[in-house]
A and B are shown apart, each in its own frame.
Chain A
Amino acid sequence: NAGVTQTPKFRVLKTGQSMTLLCAQDMNHEYMYWYRQDPGMGLRLIHYSVGEGTTAKGEVPDGYNVSRLKKQNFLLGLESAAPSQTSVYFCASSGGRDSSNQPQHFGDGTRLSIL
């Protein structure tokens, strides 16, 4: 039982490059989330999805795009990476409408450095 799996675990980019972070969950969860974690800031919500084909903005969405084409996958894209996007990115998932009291399950994170 893998839970929430994030790919890749580490990545270094140059300013202006693009990349996609992949999150996959095998718990049949409806809801998925992308957070970023910066020193002294806790975790902040970037985007989230309440079901396949839907996405919504979180607290810090600028510079990121997301897609949820399949229920089990949630992709986070950086179209033109900036040094301010250097961070640790966490994906999470939780149960759906019939289980709204379920906690979020987190992946192990992706460490992204933008030079």
Chain B
Amino acid sequence: AQSVTQPDIHITVSEGASLELRCNYSYGATPYLFWYVQSPGQGLQLLLKYFSGDTLVQGIKGFEAEFKRSQSSFNLRKPSVHWSDAAEYFCAVGAYSGGGADGLTFGKGTHLIIQP
């Protein structure tokens, strides 16, 4: 069974500083990887996804993530954060087996706090 670990429960970053959120996964085959963002009281919005190809993936809102198979990681980065980036961030791995999509396994989330 697949699993996702987000080692940081909370991260505090100053506005304008760079950001890296860590994600490690465990999966027996080539993973499908996702980052979602959730603002308070809202649903989940997809930031970016990796299925295959280029290991550096660009997403919305200036985010990017790099897939590193050797480290089983899919870290999310942003060069300069804005106060509006304060939210909960979830990394997820998908199992697409047998022509079906068996649902996502999520990490427990990282709560991002932006200091003025």
What is the CA–CA distance of A59 and B102 in the complex, to the nearest angstrom?
11
Query: Is the beta-carbon distance between A103 and B100 smaller than 8 angstroms?
Result: no
Cα distance A108–B90 when bound, in Å? 16
- B56, CB-defined interface residue at 8 Å: no
Q: Flag if B44 contacts A90 (CB, 8 Å).
A: yes
Contact partner of B101 (CB less than 8 A), chosen from A31, A58, A106, is A31
Residues of chain A within 8 A (CB-CB) of B90 are 42-43
Which B residues are CB-close (under 8 A) to A106? Answer: 36, 43-45
Interchain CB contact under 8 A, A45 and B96: no
A103 to B106, Cβ gap below 8 A?
A: no
User: Residue on A with the closest CB to B46?
Assistant: A103
Residues from chain B with a CB closer than 8 A to the CB of A90 are 43-44
Known: A42-B108, A101-B32. Contact between A58 and B103, CB under 8 A? yes
- The answer for the CA separation of A110 and B49 in the assembled complex, in Å, is 25
- Chain B residues lying within 8 Å of A108, measured Cβ to Cβ, are 42-43
Chain A residues with a Cβ under 8 A of chain B: 31, 33, 35, 40-45, 48, 50, 56, 58-59, 90, 92, 94, 97, 100-101, 103-109
Name B residues whose Cβ lies closer than 8 Å to a Cβ of A: 4, 9, 32, 34, 36, 42-46, 49, 51, 90, 92, 94, 96, 99-109
A-B contact pairs, 30 of them (CB 8 A): A31-B100, A33-B103, A42-B106, A42-B107, A42-B108, A43-B44, A45-B103, A45-B104, A48-B101, A48-B103, A50-B100, A58-B103, A90-B43, A92-B44, A92-B104, A97-B99, A100-B99, A100-B100, A101-B32, A101-B96, A103-B34, A103-B46, A103-B49, A104-B34, A104-B94, A104-B101, A104-B104, A108-B42, A108-B43, A109-B42
